[in-house]
Structure 1
Amino acid sequence: MFPCIIRLFVSLCAAVMEDLFLWMMEDEMWFSNAVDTLLVAMLKDESTSLHFKQPQNARSLMGFQFVNDILTGHPMRCYNIFRMTSTNFHILCQKISSSLNAKKTSAEEQLAIFLLCVGHGCSIQKLAGDFQHSAESIYGFFKNVLKAILSLHDEYIKVPDSSAGIHPLVGPYSGNYLFKDALGAIDGIHIRAIVKGDMERFRNRKGFLSQNVLAACSFDMLFQYVAVGWEGSASDMRILRWAVEEGGFDVPTGRYYLADFGYANTSKFLSPYRYHPYHLAQFNRRPRSSRYAAPEDLYNHRHAQLRNVIERTFGVLKMRFKVLDRMPKFQYRIQTLIVMACCILHNFIKLQNSPDYLFDTLINLESPHDNESSVGTEELSPQVIESLVGTEELSSTNEKTVGEIIRSNIRNSLWRKRQRTN
């Protein structure tokens, strides 16, 4: 008797559930709303019994496998992702591996995390998903590699001493021998910055927040001095004065760097003549027969052709390390150290003497980038240039006098040589 009652009850329940289901399906709007309400409740209320936990880092390809797949794959794929060849990757990894704690995570994986961040401006959250680590671990790896690369500063970035030879670009057979004492060029570049608090200090003349970075480079496109951390409103001359007096920028006696209009002309920093054409494009648009209206024009043209190496160096740097245009929301101090680390990596890659796409492609170009983030003084009026430079005196009267003598001798020699050939 009892089993019959149970079977009857089960049949009745099944019939009721079937009728209820058919009614729900007929009212599609009610059914859809009911499902949406259920999903929202599951997402909002983590304590409900309907919520289920799922691990975030559950990809089948782990971080070390991801790195190994890139390093052993197509060479151009490795270069595009890590911004250097696999050979240079392994050499760099060996140099910094002793500074990294690689017990749980290999040095290769930690370096790959850093290179992806600086090479592409990737966020910590994206890297956490790619490498299957928590965001805290990714940030820790990033800071460890950053510190290790900064420890290579004295090895890769240094001002040459007085025994430095004459570069072939200004050698006896180059046509630029009058500039034989030039070590390279200097300039400032503005790197976008994310700051809190007093933002106006970091707002440059183009209106965006930045840090003003002073750099000196050789004619081989190698950084010889880099000063980071200055706010965007600081003038180039103010930073240079600090670099010479306090920042360790010691130019050897009898040598000099080529500078633009933003710097005073001295015995150590040779600038062009103001109120005369200076841009390469200005000279290229003129017929060769009437290109130079005065000796100062000829001097400025030769000066610009040589000083352009700093523009090309900045171009390679920014094309390789996209973080300089898309800086993540790190502390400002970390942002400044990232710029320095990028300059060290730039020199490391150049000194390996191995094929590199960016160096090989852009080394002979006059202007490889539009320098959007650089606020040069060439675009300013002569009156504005006078106000910027005149208030930031760098040298003694003797240094300015010697600098003017050097510049005048080069100008006059260039002009006499041109007149003889014409």
Structure 2
Amino acid sequence: MDKKELLMAILVFLENKKKFNERIKLLLNTLQDNEVQLKAIVDFNEIIHAGLVFAQEHHRHIWKFDRGGIFWEHDVPTMDDSRFKEKFRLDRRAFKKVCEKVKSIGKMDSNMRRCISLEKRVAIALFSLGSAAEYRTVASLFGVGRSTVGEIVIDFCHEVCGTLSDCINAYPPHPQELRRIVEGFKLMGFPQCFGAVDGCHIEVQPKKVEAIDYYNYKGWYSVILLASCDQRSKFTYINIGSTGRNNDSYIFERSSLKKFHEHARIFKENSEIIEGINVPVLLIGDSAFRLSHHMMKPYPYGVNQSPVEKHFNYRLSKCRRVIENAFGQLKARFRKVGRGLQVAPKNVNIIIRACCILHNFLKIENDEVFPAWIQEAAEDERRHQPNHTTRLGENDQTATAVRNAIAMRFQNGTNYVTYHEVLMDVDEVSSGDNNGELVDGITGDNGSGDIVTGDAAGTDGGNGSNVDDDMS
């Protein structure tokens, strides 16, 4: 008898000691008149053999609860490529690559039961993130426990953040990458731009004692994803976890993103002279941000606004739309984020970060979002995004000189707009995250002069050069 069989017998004996003793007593009573057979039964090996027989008869009942889900084993293998992508939000080729990247979440079969395969674990995680279904629904579909689904999703997200974190690696920028992004925005209509910045509120369910910090002025609980992206709507920086009571400008002013653009020499070394003004590589944002020499925003709206200012606002809005598209695509592909995260507050940041990384990974793999997903997400949008405006920075002479120089270049006929602008008008207008409202680049600042500041945002978590966690 090998050690494996001996261990199983011992475990079964301890688990079912009472039943086992009753069976032995029955055998002893039956054979008490036969001394020879009695000695044989009392022999240790015979007792172990009896235990093994008992274990085989009750093995499934003891170690595994039989569930009826057959979706992964029977339905998925027969799916065509389009339906597979509809269910798991990526194509089969990308699915295999993700499995290779997160293979450490796989488990080994034990002596007691078979494990859930790596591919099934990845499928459970992607299906959970890509649909608005509750964990109990996913559990029933895949034939696993509800708690198992939650554990798999968190394990998967941690592994994605560990093995695919290089998918968000624009800071500090490599000179070649910087030139590629700047040239991309130049083709879209705005010079010297390295990224479009904005914030997105994501609905959460905080603890009662912390709820007031998460309550935004639109009347719901949220955390904020502040991000910048390139001309392809690929994230170059993310800051996750600031509470809903704060605004985009407050978070940006305390982020490592601002520090990069203030202190990194590469942005100044690649400056360009525009209308006699030295213009560094900069960011663009909406009216919620403070105007500075490294952050361009629209001119404040006015009744008698000049054509130069209107044209500048239009150009900036056209290019800034890529960050709205990025948020729209993120929430369309990962409906768990779009519909609101009904998970423990401690797991919110890791799930959002993993979805952002997967968004970039699939961009790199050219696995694009279906337009129908974006349309469905827009129709299913339940919450309106909070909007803030500020006039901070309007008196900054250096910043206004940079903005005026760019505006004058537009006025003087230097035309960067190509067919990319036309494509954005036709194809991307519905993929943003502005709930159908007019964007600031066309309407400008609303003229209210409101200056909204937060007081509980905390600081960056410092866990990466271009991925910040704010645990406030």
Structure number, greater radius of gyration: 1
Following the alignment from structure 1 to structure 2, what is the Cα–Cα distance between the partners of residues 169 and 360? 26
Question: Is 1:331 the counterpart of 2:366 in the alignment?
Answer: no
TM superposition shift of 1:187: 0.2
Question: Is 1:265 the counterpart of 2:284 in the alignment?
Answer: no
CA contact under 8 A between 2:200 and 2:224: conserved in structure 1? yes
Following the alignment from structure 2 to structure 1, what is the Cα–Cα distance between the partners of residues 346 and 258? 19
Corresponding residue for residue 94 of structure 1: 100
The amino acid of 2:286's aligned partner reads D
CA contact under 8 A between 1:97 and 1:107: conserved in structure 2? yes
Following the alignment from structure 2 to structure 1, what is the Cα–Cα distance between the partners of residues 285 and 314? 13
The amino acid of 1:266's aligned partner reads S
Corresponding residue for residue 214 of structure 2: 202
CA contact under 8 A between 2:105 and 2:118: conserved in structure 1? no
TM superposition shift of 1:315: 1.0
Corresponding residue for residue 19 of structure 1: none
Task: Kindly tell me the number of residue pairs found equivalent between the two proteins.
Answer: 327
Q: 1:99 to 1:276 in 2, by over 3 A?
A: farther
Following the alignment from structure 2 to structure 1, what is the Cα–Cα distance between the partners of residues 347 and 358? 16
Following the alignment from structure 1 to structure 2, what is the Cα–Cα distance between the partners of residues 317 and 245? 21
TM superposition shift of 1:162: 5.5
Following the alignment from structure 1 to structure 2, what is the Cα–Cα distance between the partners of residues 368 and 91? 29
Alignment counterpart, residue 79 of structure 1, candidates 85, 91, 94: 85
Q: 1:100 to 1:361 in 2, by over 3 A?
A: closer
SS of 1:273's equivalent? coil
CA contact under 8 A between 1:166 and 1:180: conserved in structure 2? no
Which structure 2 segments of 5+ residues have no match?
A: 1-63, 110-114, 268-279, 416-472
Q: Structure 1-normalised TM-score?
A: 0.69
Q: Deviations over 1:336-386 (max 9, x none)?
A: 2111111111111110124x3437997xx9x97897646353xx6xxxx33
Corresponding residue for residue 73 of structure 2: 65
Following the alignment from structure 1 to structure 2, what is the Cα–Cα distance between the partners of residues 344 and 136? 25
TM superposition shift of 1:58: 3.4
Corresponding residue for residue 330 of structure 2: 317
Following the alignment from structure 2 to structure 1, what is the Cα–Cα distance between the partners of residues 382 and 312? 27
CA contact under 8 A between 1:205 and 1:375: conserved in structure 2? no
Following the alignment from structure 2 to structure 1, what is the Cα–Cα distance between the partners of residues 331 and 170? 22
Q: 1:154 to 1:401 in 2, by over 3 A?
A: farther
Q: How does 1:23-422 map to 2 (within 5 A)?
A: 57-59=66-68, 61=70, 64-66=72-74, 69-101=75-107, 103=109, 104-160=115-171, 161=173, 163=175, 164-167=178-181, 168-171=183-186, 174=187, 176=189, 179-196=190-207, 197-244=209-256, 252-253=266-267, 254-276=280-302, 293-354=306-367, 356-358=368-370, 373=383, 375=385, 377=387, 385-386=389-390, 390=392, 400-417=396-413
Following the alignment from structure 1 to structure 2, what is the Cα–Cα distance between the partners of residues 347 and 205? 31
CA contact under 8 A between 2:333 and 2:373: conserved in structure 1? no
CA contact under 8 A between 2:128 and 2:336: conserved in structure 1? yes
TM superposition shift of 1:102: 5.1
TM superposition shift of 1:333: 2.1
TM superposition shift of 1:77: 0.9
CA contact under 8 A between 2:213 and 2:244: conserved in structure 1? yes
Q: 1:153 to 1:234 in 2, by over 3 A?
A: farther
Following the alignment from structure 2 to structure 1, what is the Cα–Cα distance between the partners of residues 234 and 308? 31
SS of 2:196's equivalent? strand
Q: 1:88 to 1:369 in 2, by over 3 A?
A: same
Following the alignment from structure 1 to structure 2, what is the Cα–Cα distance between the partners of residues 153 and 343? 11
Which structure 1 segments of 5+ residues have no match?
A: 1-54, 278-290
The amino acid of 2:298's aligned partner reads P
Q: Which deviates more, 109-118 or 134-143?
A: 134-143
CA contact under 8 A between 1:190 and 1:210: conserved in structure 2? yes
SS of 2:370's equivalent? helix
Q: 1:243 to 1:297 in 2, by over 3 A?
A: same
Q: Identity of counterpart residues, as a percentage?
A: 22
The amino acid of 1:114's aligned partner reads A
TM superposition shift of 1:156: 0.6
Following the alignment from structure 2 to structure 1, what is the Cα–Cα distance between the partners of residues 385 and 72? 41
